[in-house]
Amino acid sequence: MKIRRVSIIIFFNEKKRILLQDRTGINKFGLKYKWGFFGGGIEENETPKHAVIRETKEELDFELKNFKYIGKYEGKINDNISIILYAFISPLFDNLTKFKQKEGRKMKLFSLIEAEKLKLPEYDKRVIIDLKNIL
C-alpha cells in the first residue's frame, strides 16, 4: 500500500471558527469531498513543518510564522493509499484579507459543529473532534 504524507494548517479565530477551503474540482485520488483543510503533500526530504509553511505560501500567498503542531492522524484515502496527516493550527488575528487564495474556489469560516457535519474524510473529522479540546 502506498503512503501519502501531508501537512495541513487550520486557521482559527477568537470564536473558535476554523477556515476551510472549497476544494471542488481540485480533490485528488477521486475524493468527492467539497471542503477541506489548506495544505498538501510533504515532499521528499521535507519535514511536516517545512511542508506546511511551503503549502501555506503556495495556496494562500501567506508567510506562516505563528503556528503550533497539534498531532498526527492516520487513515485510508482508498484501498491502495493510506495517509499520514500532520496537523498544525494558527490563530487568525484579523479578517481574511491577509490571504490571497491561489487554490480552490473559495474559503469560509465554520464553527466546529458546522465543520463536523460536513462530508469529510474520517481522518479530517478526527482532527475537528480533537480541536474541540484544543481551541
Q: Is the pLDDT at 25 greater than 80, yes or no? A: no
Q: What pLDDT score does 31 carry? A: 66
What are 113's three cell numbers? 459543529
pLDDT of residue 30: 63
User: Average of pLDDT values for 10-20?
Assistant: 96
Q: What is the pLDDT of residues 34-70, one digit of tens each?
A: 899 999 999 999 999 999 999 999 999 999 999 999 9
pLDDT tens string 60-112 = 999 999 999 999 999 998 889 999 999 999 999 777 888 999 988 899 999 99
Q: Which residue has the higher pLDDT, 23 or 39?
A: 39
Identify the CATH assignment for 2-134 out of 3.90.79.10, 3.30.70.1560, 3.40.640.10, 3.40.47.10.
3.90.79.10
Instruction: Give pLDDT, residue 118.
Output: 94
Each domain of the chain, given as residue ranges in start order, spans 2-134
Question: Please, which pLDDT band fits residue 24 given cuts at 50, 70 and 90?
Answer: confident
Length of the chain equals: 135
